[in-house]
Chain A
């Protein structure tokens, strides 16, 4: 069965600093991987997704993520964080034939210090 682990519940970074949010997945075949962001009182917004090909994927708002099969990881990065990036970030895994049945990690809350 698929599962997703986000080991960091809370992360605080200073504005302008770099960011890396960790995501580890468990899935037997090649997974479909996603990062979503949720601002307070809002639904989820897709940041980026990986299906195949280039293991470094670019997303919206300056985010990128790297798929590392050997480490079963799909970490999210941003070179310079803005105060507006403060939100909760979710990693998710899907699978062929699962018709949008995603497994989500528990989320990482990002605080940004001025």
Chain B
């Protein structure tokens, strides 16, 4: 079974631009979570989607948004990029998103904002 895939793997943008990152969960998984990883703040939860609905979100500004499609694939969007948005963005999937399930992480998308 293929793992969680994220595209693109690397991205360079300039301040003020917007970016869209994509995540394809493991086949059959309907819950997708997004995390931001930076050296200063570590791993921080962005949001979680299940059946195209956002069920939980972290403490990030409204510039960070996401969505999930009917095939469970998910995208996250960051508008008006700031230098501090440079990070590794990780996506994780699980069957239905209960706390007892194992989350499977993708390799991440590394975003550099110049």
A residues within 8 Å of B by Cβ? 32, 36, 41-46, 49, 51, 90, 92, 94-107
Contact = CB atoms under 8 A, between A and B. Distances in A.
Contacts of A104: 35, 42-44
Q: Chain B interface residue count: which class?
A: 20 to 34
Contacts of A51: 100
23 contacts: A32-B99, A41-B107, A43-B4, A43-B92, A43-B108, A46-B102, A49-B102, A98-B99, A99-B50, A99-B98, A100-B31, A100-B56, A100-B99, A100-B103, A101-B56, A102-B35, A102-B43, A102-B103, A104-B42, A105-B42, A106-B42, A107-B42, A107-B43
Contacts of A92: 43
Q: Majority SS of interface residues in chain A? A: loop
Contacts of B33: 99-101
A103 B106 CA distance: 18
B12 to A, nearest CB: 17
Interface of B: 4, 31, 33, 35, 42-45, 48, 50, 55-56, 58, 90, 92, 94, 97-108
A100 B105 contact: no
Contact of A32 (B35, B50, B97, B100): B100
Contacts of A99: 31, 33, 48, 50, 55-56, 97-99
Most buried by A among B4, B98, B104: B98
Nearest to B107: A43
B43 to A, nearest CB: 4
A109 to B, nearest CB: 11
B107 A100 contact: no
A6 to B, nearest CB: 9
A43 B45 contact: no
Contacts of A98: 56, 99
Nearest to A42: B107
Contacts of B42: 104-107
Given A100-B48, A104-B42, A43 B100 contact: no
